[in-house]
């Protein structure tokens, strides 16, 4: 089946599936396997301290895939950066942005804090800027700043949490009404039903985070992968971490962990989402060979 959405059209990817950004994990082998399987792999720039290291990773990407991929710039909110001494500012990435543009990369994601300066640089270079945020207010503001798409992370998800965060259902159905630009669903999605549901709610693509940590290409440790497979998402402590903002800064999976039941390759993961989604569509009586959200 051909998958045709505003995001596949804009990026040229086969499926409306985007890799999350990952501090620690978002490196070339992982990202390239995602792109090679038909999604949009993402290199997470925060993992590279110097411009030389970043350039070397891009060179590695060139050897591993000829498909399109993106780069993420995660920006630490200034008050947290000042308090903890961790994370990076928007300005600290500007040279990295130039390197990636020069390398011919077309799609960029920013996250966690506003990134209008990077957005403007990308606009001037004819590239696409997708901003990821946790609230509708920030999504509206990214659209105003010129973002080409926004990813909104639902409360079921992990990463930066916000007391005003909504569920993926509220985010997508409302974003479809309030925003003109394409929207990407993230948060708690780990199987074909969640994927299709997000598209039905109005998403133009789905971003996977937790669900792809226990894959063969993911550089997460085996013990972390095993822990995700065993995670009881209905456990009270886990539930509180996710829904009552007790996540702190720990690298923990989200509610999507409920769908992690085997360690498979990225290709198997994406194929499984698509094959099962197509089966569900056929079961509903969908007969054409093209799925389109236009």
Can you give the binding site for ligand FMN, defined by CB under 6 A? Answer: 20-23, 44, 46, 74, 111-112, 132, 153, 157-159, 186-189, 207-211, 251, 253-254, 256
Which CB atom, from 58 or from 220, has the smaller least distance to ligand FMN? 220
Cβ pair 90, 117 in contact under 8 A:
yes
Which CB atom, from 4 or from 268, has the smaller least distance to ligand FMN? 268
**Cα(242)–Cα(247) distance, integer angstroms:** 6
**Cα(141)–Cα(147) distance, integer angstroms:** 9
Please state the closest distance from residue 76 (CB atom) to ligand FMN, in A.
10
Which CB atom, from 21 or from 37, has the smaller least distance to ligand FMN? 21
Which CB atom, from 70 or from 209, has the smaller least distance to ligand FMN? 209
Please state the closest distance from residue 187 (CB atom) to ligand FMN, in A.
5
Which CB atom, from 39 or from 187, has the smaller least distance to ligand FMN? 187
Please state the closest distance from residue 293 (CB atom) to ligand FMN, in A.
20
Cβ pair 41, 35 in contact under 8 A:
yes
**Cα(75)–Cα(85) distance, integer angstroms:** 13
From the list 189, 135, 139, 179, the residue with the least C-alpha distance to 161 is: 135
Cβ pair 127, 96 in contact under 8 A:
no
**Cα(170)–Cα(165) distance, integer angstroms:** 10
**Cα(240)–Cα(248) distance, integer angstroms:** 11
Q: Largest Cα–Cα distance of the chain, in whole Å? A: 56
Which CB atom, from 159 or from 182, has the smaller least distance to ligand FMN? 159
From the list 271, 256, 261, the residue with the least C-alpha distance to 153 is: 256
Cβ pair 29, 64 in contact under 8 A:
yes
Which CB atom, from 41 or from 187, has the smaller least distance to ligand FMN? 187
Pull the structure tokens for residue 116: 């209008």
Q: Which residue of the chain is nearest ligand FMN when measured via CB?
A: 209
Please state the closest distance from residue 224 (CB atom) to ligand FMN, in A.
9
Please state the closest distance from residue 285 (CB atom) to ligand FMN, in A.
30
Please state the closest distance from residue 283 (CB atom) to ligand FMN, in A.
25
DSSP 145: T
Please state the closest distance from residue 39 (CB atom) to ligand FMN, in A.
13
**Cα(88)–Cα(72) distance, integer angstroms:** 12
């Amino acid at each position: 089946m051909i998958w045709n959405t505003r995001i596949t059209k804009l990026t040229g990817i086969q499926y409306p599936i985007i890799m999350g950004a990952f501090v620690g994990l978002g490196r070339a082998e992982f990202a390239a396997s995602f792109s090679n399987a038909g999604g949009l792999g993402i290199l997470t720039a925060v993992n590279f301290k110097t411009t030389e290291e970043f350039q070397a990773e891009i060179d590695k990407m060139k050897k591993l895939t000829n498909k399109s991929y993106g780069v993420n710039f995660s920006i630490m909110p200034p008050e947290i950066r000042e308090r903890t001494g961790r994370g990076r500012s928007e300005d600290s990435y500007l040279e990295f942005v130039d390197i990636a543009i020069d390398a011919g990369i077309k799609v960029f994601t920013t996250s966690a804090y506003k990134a209008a300066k990077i957005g403007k640089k990308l606009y001037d270079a004819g590239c696409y800027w997708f901003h990821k945020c946790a609230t509708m207010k920030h999504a509206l503001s990214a659209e105003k700043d010129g973002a080409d798409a926004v990813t909104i992370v639902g409360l079921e998800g992990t990463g930066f949490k916000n007391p005003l965060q909504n569920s993926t259902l509220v985010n997508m159905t409302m974003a479809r009404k309030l925003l003109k630009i394409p929207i990407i669903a993230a948060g708690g999605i780990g199987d074909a039903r969640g994927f299709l549901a997000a598209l039905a709610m109005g998403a133009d693509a789905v971003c996977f985070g937790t669900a792809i940590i226990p894959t063969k290409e993911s550089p997460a440790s085996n013990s972390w992968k095993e822990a995700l497979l065993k995670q009881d998402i209905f456990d009270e402590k886990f539930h509180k971490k996710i829904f009552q903002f007790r996540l702190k800064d720990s690298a923990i999976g989200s509610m999507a962990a409920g769908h992690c039941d085997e360690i498979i390759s990225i290709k198997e993961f994406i194929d499984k989402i698509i094959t099962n989604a197509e089966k569900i569509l056929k079961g509903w009586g969908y007969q054409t060979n093209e799925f389109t959200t236009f």
